Structure 1
Amino acid sequence: MTKTDSISSKELETLNNTPQARSEKDLGNLSAPNPDIEEGTIVEEDPTLDVEKQEPPSEITFPDGGAQAWFIVLGAAIAMFCSFGYVNAFGVYESYYLTVILKNKTADDIAWIGSIQIAFIFGSGLFAGSIFDRYGARIIIIPSSILLVTSIMLTSICKEYYQFLLCQGILGGLSQGALYTPAIGVIGQYFNKKRAAAMGLVVAGSSLGGVILPIMLANLLERTSFGWTVRSIGFLFAGLLSIPCFTMVERLPHRKGTFFLPEAFKNLTYSLFVAAFFFILWGLFTPFFFIPTYALNLGMSHSMSIYLVSILNGLSFPGRVLPGILADKLGRMNLMIITPIITSLLIWCWLAIDSATGLIVLTAFFGFWSGSVISLFPAVMAQIVPNPREMGTYIGMAMGISGVAGLTGSPIAGALLTHYGYTAAISFSGSCMAVGTTLLVVARLYHDRRILVVV
């Protein structure tokens, strides 16, 4: 084993101080001779010491590369393509539902479909993360892949509003979330020094989906029916999802013990980070949902408004890869503060946009920096988690709480848009981002008060 393959002494000390490791050390001390007890004395065993034994994570190595590790990245990126990449294309559905299928519904009514989908993506992570830690990746990847394809096929035959809510919103969101959490958790078991870069590549899969899927949807909707357009997405996903079903496999032993880890919230850095991500998600998806309709108000054609979604997601691809590479060198927490600051400023700049050219430029910049926010979240989370075998549970609990923000953020913006106009909706989005960024700064300073250090 080379020095670069193993974790640092500081990380090793952290792992040896996890609750599991400390309990095992205490058990080991019980077997040592006690000088206060005479030899031959029978000592009754304390029944309260029936603690579940688990191998202490005395030394954990990370390949940080190699064929298997990069195949894991490929499979996880495809899972992202089919989960977050698909929901990133909801702006196309929003516009189409509003003008064709569900013309009797308002913008905030239709936004509930996408918001419920986002909420269940994050909410299902609450259970998917613990299942991944305890039983492995494939036991959840395979059934969730089947359910996602099923939800898309059912969406293709929907006619009523409640049907879209059930098939696309709830079933789609549950299956997408069950794909997302293991895809993030498994990367943390294979990468350490290159973790942010690897996770950036994985999350970039959702950007690629956000580029390809809106264009695919827009072109097919012009050439064929809604049903066959959506079914084409289903057939595509059926082929793609077979790859993560075969390639994604966990590397570390499964975690034992309780299903959830509520003691994680005793870590103030983790709690602050979860609260910050809640507020950031509350405001982040407003541009994804409403930039196409804003473009229509500026006089853009329907097809051009759809291409804005692809521009946004296309620029988020380098936004998810490049900051991940820089974060491994400059500090993941440091960069995690910079990216939402710029994203928040861009949302406020949206208030001044009154031309198609300006909106295209804003969309491009927002795509890049919002992509950075999404990609750095799991990298920073992995840095906070004391034991890599608990990563899925930590991420899942954070996602479960953030699911409330995903559920309510866009409908609130949609309601503000319907009753007060775009200024109110944009102001809500920018304010949420500002609050989340402030909490990130507090979490960073609590973790390490030194400003000019790599954290």
Structure 2
Amino acid sequence: MIPSMGLLNTLAVLQAWVSVNELHGIPESSIGWIFSLYAFFLYLCGAQVGPIFDAHDVRFLIIPGCIGIVAATMLLSLAKEYYQFLLTFGVLGGVSASMLFNPSIATIGHWFSERRALATGMACTAGGVGGVVFPLIILYASPAIGFPWAIRIIGFICAAASVAACTLLRKRLPPNKKGGSSIDLGALRDTRYAIVTAAVFLVEFAVFIPYTYISSYAIATGLEPHKAYLLNTLLNAGAIPGRALPGYVADRFGVFNVMCVTCFTCVAFILCLWLTTPRDNEAMVTSFAVLYGFWSGAAISLTPVCIGQVCRVEDYGKRNGTAFSIASIGALVGIPLAGAILQAQGGGYSGVIALAGGAYAAATAAFIVARGVSAGWSLKTVF
């Protein structure tokens, strides 16, 4: 998860850097497609990755995924034109990341039952670690040795993590080749699974908007670029405990209960703190980055556990892949839509912030409904 989720959590610095340097003059909405495609393919390819995971050994996926993510990073360091960024990072990087992220999540589901949320949360902290280390490399290495070599250093780290992943990752259950090998839309006839899938779609639509635009927002409101890039690091530093601790709490009080609380808290921070931050107020925007990083961590670490709550373990790879392939549409359109709103407002961020807050509010409502339909409406129910 260090290469796949670490790069996903570096979107803000990459977006802000290439907007100012390599792709200067290209509209924000167009640049947004590069990074939304990465998230899109990471989730969309789960529709095929999940059934392959169920039917074959995990190395059948992670070896080509590791080769692809390292190749994508190295090719990104050579990119000069818009289409090159789009193909190397957005397409090749996203497809390769899917071969790493989805098997990693599904493998945890094989080995853990009662403490699955905590185990998933601890594994997902790797994305936060990558999201701290990778932006710092770009921030401090790029002025000294250039952006291409900074990206190559990240590529070497991805290669080392890939070797460890190929050595350590194991499945527990035997191959399930009867599960099929395509997206399982028929599963949406299950009301509980359909509502959970809708909730995951909404939260994935919302969560990446602040992750992508926090640095460019800070630059636009008057912060020095150096401090603005550091906001992405602070956001991911907050996300490290934010991915592990909610898992620990979820195992005791219910994963859906925790998701409802964390989503509502994100709505409060987006609309009450980020939206009301005065221009050039470093303290408030820094506070938002850390707090949002912590509370949004559950959107990454607990959503697969929510899916696992409403399906059989034997079908987990396929159901998880189907849900995230549908959610990939939200990840695809969220970032460019925010960029289009930013463009329409002439560089103002109030519309972008309102979009993120509104989508998070809808996700909160969807998780509340999913909890009620699946386990009843009593506040005392642990689910």
* TM norm structure 2: 0.96
Gaps of 5+ in 2: none
The aligned residue for residue 297 of structure 2 is 371
Matches within 5 A, 1:188-267: 188-257=109-178, 258-260=180-182, 261-267=184-190
* Secondary structure, counterpart of 1:424 in structure 2: helix
Preserved CA contact (<8 Å) 2:120 2:247: yes
Gaps of 5+ in 1: 1-79
Query: Shift of residue 297 of structure 1?
Result: 2.3
Query: Shift of residue 148 of structure 1?
Result: 0.7
The C-alpha deviation readout for 1:98-120, integer Å capped at 9, x for no partner, is 11111121222211111011101
The aligned residue for residue 275 of structure 2 is 351
Preserved CA contact (<8 Å) 1:298 1:356: no
Preserved CA contact (<8 Å) 2:209 2:356: yes
Matches within 5 A, 1:106-145: 106-145=27-66
The aligned residue for residue 320 of structure 2 is 395
Question: CA RMSD of the aligned region, Å?
Answer: 1.1
| From 335, 341, 344, the counterpart of 1:419 | 344
Preserved CA contact (<8 Å) 1:315 1:368: yes
Preserved CA contact (<8 Å) 1:270 1:384: yes
Which amino acid is 1:441 matched to?
I
Q: Is 1:319 the equivalent of 2:242?
A: yes
The C-alpha deviation readout for 1:72-111, integer Å capped at 9, x for no partner, is xxxxxxxx11101111111111111111111121222211
* Secondary structure, counterpart of 1:196 in structure 2: helix
Q: Is 1:444 the equivalent of 2:368?
A: no
Preserved CA contact (<8 Å) 1:254 1:389: no
Distance 2:5 2:317 in 1: 17
* Secondary structure, counterpart of 1:188 in structure 2: helix
Structure with the greater alpha carbon radius of gyration = 1
Matches within 5 A, 1:49-88: 80-88=1-9
Distance 1:344 1:178 in 2: 31
The aligned residue for residue 289 of structure 1 is 212
The C-alpha deviation readout for 1:304-325, integer Å capped at 9, x for no partner, is 1111000000001111111100
- Identity over aligned residues, as a percent? 33
* Secondary structure, counterpart of 2:111 in structure 1: coil
Query: Shift of residue 284 of structure 1?
Result: 1.4
Preserved CA contact (<8 Å) 2:200 2:324: no
Preserved CA contact (<8 Å) 1:253 1:389: no
Query: Shift of residue 368 of structure 1?
Result: 0.4
Distance 1:151 1:448 in 2: 43
Distance 1:271 1:312 in 2: 31
Which amino acid is 1:296 matched to?
I
Query: Shift of residue 286 of structure 1?
Result: 1.1
Query: Shift of residue 166 of structure 1?
Result: 0.4
User: How many pairs were matched up?
Assistant: 375
The C-alpha deviation readout for 1:117-174, integer Å capped at 9, x for no partner, is 1101111111111110011211000011001101111111111001100001000000
Range with bigger deviation, 143-152 or 429-438 = 429-438
Query: Shift of residue 326 of structure 1?
Result: 0.8
Which amino acid is 1:404 matched to?
I
Preserved CA contact (<8 Å) 2:311 2:319: yes
Preserved CA contact (<8 Å) 1:132 1:140: yes
Query: Shift of residue 344 of structure 1?
Result: 1.5
The aligned residue for residue 3 of structure 1 is none
Which amino acid is 1:403 matched to?
S
